[in-house]
C-alpha cells in the first residue's frame, strides 16, 4: 500500500485524490489518508503531491512508521474525497515543518 505521511498535515494540497484510479483517499480536517485495503499500489499519487508526503509502505521513513496505522485507522472513519480542492491558505508555511503530528486534527 501507499501511505500518506506527516508532511501532508496542514498542507493538504489534494492533488493526490484526482489521480487515484480506485478513489481510496479519505479526508480529515487537516490531513488525508489512504485506505490500505483499497489501494492497488499503482504509485500514481506519489509524484502528484507537491510536498512529497506520500510514500510506498516499503519506503516510509522509519520515524513515520506510526502513519501506517494512522492511515488504516482514520480511513475507516473519515469521508471519501475524490475531487481536488484548494489547499489551506497557509499551506506553504507548513511545508517541511517538523513535529506536525501534534497538529493532526481528527
Indicate whether 69 belongs to the interface with ligand SF4 (CB under 6 A).
no
Distance CA 60, CA 22 (A): 21
> Interacting stretch for ligand F3S, rule CB under 6 A, among 12-20, 55-63, 66-74, 97-105?
12-20
104: its cell numbers: 493532526
Distance CA 37, CA 4 (A): 14
Find the shortest distance in angstroms from Cβ 62 to ligand F3S: 19
Which residues are paired to 54 by β-bridges? 4
Distance CA 30, CA 89 (A): 12
Q: Which of 2, 3, 6, 11 binds ligand F3S (CB under 6 A)?
A: 11
Q: Which of 32, 33, 45, 51 binds ligand SF4 (CB under 6 A)?
A: 45
| Footprint of ligand SF4 (CB under 6 A) | 2, 19-20, 22, 24, 34, 39-45
Amino acid at each position: 500500500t501507499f501511505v500518506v505521511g506527516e508532511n501532508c498535515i496542514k498542507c493538504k494540497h489534494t492533488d493526490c485524490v484526482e489521480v487515484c484510479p480506485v478513489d481510496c483517499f479519505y479526508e480529515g480536517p487537516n490531513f488525508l489518508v489512504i485506505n490500505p485495503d483499497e489501494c492497488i499500489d499503482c504509485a500514481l499519487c506519489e509524484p502528484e503531491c507537491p510536498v512529497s508526503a506520500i510514500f510506498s509502505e516499503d519506503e516510509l521513513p522509519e520515524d513515520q512508521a506510526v502513519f501506517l496505522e494512522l492511515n488504516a485507522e482514520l480511513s475507516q472513519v473519515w469521508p471519501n474525497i475524490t475531487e481536488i480542492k484548494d489547499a489551506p491558505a497557509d499551506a506553504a508555511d507548513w511545508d517541511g515543518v517538523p513535529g506536525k503530528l501534534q497538529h493532526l486534527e481528527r
